[in-house]
């Protein structure tokens, strides 16, 4: 027998406010079900996110788990800007400027629940293509330089 994920539950004081943030973040409407707010998280199959105010006040501790998201379109940097405008906080930034800002970030929703946003496949593939093209240019330049050196040596010889 195996387990299947049923919910992602967020502790929160203001489910409506948090629901509004996640609605804006992932573009899916909030639904009221049995006194709880739920958002069907876009994935296959859909996984519901439960926002419940029935938790005691939390002591500040590091998150031991998180949800990872990736933009369906656009760049990680565009998505980070959009989420900050929606009320998220940037906690840790692992984008690499020397690699077209591909990487990931750790963010927190307005209630402090941590989540991660990673570069999507399109961004990663574009970076890989750029690196391959730069390597090919470098190899071509080395071959040209070697041929020029050989021609100079041949002229001297």
pTM passes above 0.75: no
- Cβ-proximal residues to 7 (8 Å cutoff; 6+ apart), any chain: 47, 48, 49, 50
Give the DSSP H/E element, type plus range, for residue 123. helix 121-156
**What pLDDT digit, counting tens, does each position of 3-34 carry?**
456 667 777 888 888 888 988 888 888 888 76
Identify the structural domains of the chain with CATH numbers, from first to last.
Answer: 1-56 (3.30.720), 63-157 (no CATH)
**What pLDDT digit, counting tens, does each position of 40-71 carry?**
777 656 666 666 665 555 556 655 556 878 88
**CA atoms of 66 and 8, how far apart (whole Å):** 10
| Burial class of residue 111 (count of CB atoms within 10 Å of its CB; 0-12, 13-18, 19+) | middle
Over residues 98-107, the mean pLDDT reads: 87
């Amino acid at each position: 027998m195996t387990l299947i994920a049923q919910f992602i539950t967020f502790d929160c004081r203001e489910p409506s406010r948090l629901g509004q943030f996640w609605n804006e973040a992932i573009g899916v409407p909030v639904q009221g079900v049995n006194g709880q707010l739920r958002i069907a998280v876009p994935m296959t199959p859909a996984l519901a996110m439960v926002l419940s105010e029935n938790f005691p006040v939390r002591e500040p501790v590091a998150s031991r788990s998180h949800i990872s998201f990736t933009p369906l379109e656009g760049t990680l940097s565009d998505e980070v800007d959009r989420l900050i405008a929606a009320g998220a906080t940037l906690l840790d930034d692992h984008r690499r400027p020397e690699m077209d800002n591909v990487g990931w970030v750790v963010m927190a929703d307005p209630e402090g629940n941590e989540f991660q946003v990673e570069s999507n496949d399109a961004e990663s593939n574009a970076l890989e293509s750029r690196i391959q093209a730069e390597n090919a240019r470098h190899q071509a330049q080395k071959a040209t330089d070697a041929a020029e050196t050989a021609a100079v040596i041949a002229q001297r010889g």
